[in-house]
Structure formats: structure tokens, C-alpha cells
Copies of this chain bind each other. A is one copy, B any other.
């Protein structure tokens, strides 16, 4: 099989850096094109990316010249780590021009014709693309992945849909890498907690229902989510406490069982980035912890712990996922892998 050429929009940012790192040795995709904002164009990637990963810039990208974010250039398949302030316009232009944009930006997530995809949960939402193309008159397409904290929550809830979830109260403890670079000032987070992340609670409360919903997400899942989002002094890994109420209260053992055996299309298809299993359910009393567990499954697994009765709702537990791998770049790459496996990247 020939490798599929791919590019990255917004390659110098924190999510862009993860794309560059994760795509360096990808079995299907070959990264040949990097694009970023005006001030980086024409310069070698290593001179303009404020690289913050603890592995060196991959050899193939370090010296690569950065391009402008102009549609029609670059490979057909482009990953987008663009900032929301510019992603709407640029991604739309790329899709119109025939590119398949696999985006991490929030701009199109809630568009009723754009899949908000987590391949383990709603691989069938890809069917929206046909209508998307027709309705928007795009030669290409846009597929999005959810917000970093939403992905972790949705992964934890997906196996519980069989019990008819009615309400969820979630409180997050989120890593600073989720805010990009320079992002959170050190004076705000050293020895501190910031109990607010702009727009994050709304995203968790709405995106989750589209993801879990039917008909390509056009029929939102009939539950209510209430989110408290907080920033803590962690580099990578969003931890969250979750209380859930159901239509029919399941036994705790049934919940653990459903989570433990949860699996989806990526696992069936053995997609390269698919974690096996997608949910790691631990019975350690004090886990998951971001420093110890965020990298499980190459950063693509979500870890669940402390599943127990909730005296107010029905069940409660702790969930953790790597926010820039499973929660961003890795999520988009898994989306592209699914599309390729389904023959949608040709």
C-alpha cells in the first residue's frame, strides 16, 4: 500500500506539534506539508515552532519549509490544529477546494452536517459527509473531533448508553497543555487551581450529546450534562470526577463490565492508533492519575477508576485521558484512519 500524503494546518502550535510528532512514524500517512500563519511562512519548521514535547522534532519535519494556509496547495488530506479564531474560514476554504480536513478546531463541531467523530462511539456519523458535500457545495469535506475534555467524558459514557443515561455532573481537573503556548501563565497555576476555562463547560454540555446521539448527531442524546471545568498544575492529562444518573439504575458491577468490554470500530479494524482496549478500568483505589496513566495505550486509552455508588446520582467514577493525544491530535489521526479504512480518503 502506498502511503497517503498528509499535511498539517497550524503546525507550529501545541496541537500541531503533536500532529507532527505522531505522524512521524505513521504506517499509513506520510507528512509532507506543514502550514502555519504568515510570520512562519518560508522558514524552516524548527526555527518557528516553539517545540514543547519531550522528544526531539522528527527529522523529516525539522528542516521542512512552512507554507501558507492556502487551499489548493498541499496534499488532499490535511489535519487542522488551527486556532479557532482563524479555523472557520480556512477550513471552509480547504473543504470547498477539495481537501479532506480532519480538524481539531471547535468551529464546525456543532454544525449539523459535520461529524463530531469519536470512532469508537459514532463511526456511523461519517454518513453525514455525503449530505455535507451536497448542501455546502464542497468538493472536499470536514470531519471534527471533540474538545479535549469532552472526548474523555464521552468515551467513559459511551458504554453506559445501554442503561439510558439521564443526567451527568462532571468536574474536571485539566492540564495546562490544553491551553496552548504560551497559554496559562505560570503565576496563575503554580500552587494554584483556576476554576474556570472559557467556553469549556458549554462544550462539554453540548458536544457530548451530539457525539452520543443518533442520526449523525442530529438527534442529540436525551440526557443533561452539567460541567465544572478547572485548570490544575499538570502538563498532560485531563482528570475528571463523574456522577451519573440513569433511567434504569444498573448495578455497579454491570457498569464496570460494560466499560471493561467496551470496544468499537477502531478496535475491530485494528486501526493503527486504536488503543486495545479503549477503556482501561482499574481497581486501584487511587487511580487514574495523570502522571502515571495519561500515556496508556500510547496516550489513546481513557482510564477509569473508582467506579462506585453515588448517593445522589446513581454511580460515580474518575476518568482520565491524554488531552493532546486522545483529546486532540491523536483523536484526529484516528478519525482519518477510520475514514481511510472506510475508503473515504481516496
**CB within 8 Å of B: which residues of A?**
14, 51-56, 167-169, 171, 173, 176-177, 181-196, 205, 224-226, 228, 230, 232-235, 239, 241, 243, 245, 285-296, 305-306, 310-313, 316, 318
Contacts and interface: CB of A to CB of B under 8 A. Distances in A.
Of A56, A184, A226, A312, chain B has the most CB atoms within 10 Å of the CB of A312
Nearest to A171: B171
Contacts of A55: 295
Contacts of A292: 51-54, 192
Of A51, A233, A234, A241, chain B has the most CB atoms within 10 Å of the CB of A241
Nearest to A309: B226
B286 A196 contact: yes
A187 B182 contact: yes
Contacts of A53: 292
A47 to B, nearest CB: 11
A311 to B, nearest CB: 5
Given A168-B312, A169-B243, A187-B183, A192 B234 contact: yes
Contacts of A290: 191-193
Contacts of A295: 54-55
A196 B320 CA distance: 14
The 6 closest A-B pairs by CB, nearest first: A171-B171, A228-B241, A182-B185, A196-B286, A226-B312, A192-B291
Given A185-B185, A243-B226, A190 B193 contact: no
B185 A183 contact: yes
A291 B54 contact: yes
A56 B301 CA distance: 13
Given A54-B295, A226-B243, A235-B291, 11 more contacts: A52-B292, A173-B232, A176-B190, A184-B187, A192-B290, A192-B291, A194-B289, A195-B241, A195-B306, A226-B311, A230-B239
Contacts of A56: 296
A313 B183 CA distance: 32
A226 B182 contact: no
9 contacts: A54-B291, A56-B296, A173-B193, A181-B185, A186-B189, A191-B235, A225-B311, A226-B310, A233-B233
A172 to B, nearest CB: 9
Nearest to A180: B187
Contacts of A311: 205, 224-226
Contacts of A196: 285-286, 306
A185 B187 contact: no
A241 B190 contact: no
A292 B295 CA distance: 16
A185 to B, nearest CB: 4
Nearest to A286: B196
A246 to B, nearest CB: 13
B224 A312 contact: yes
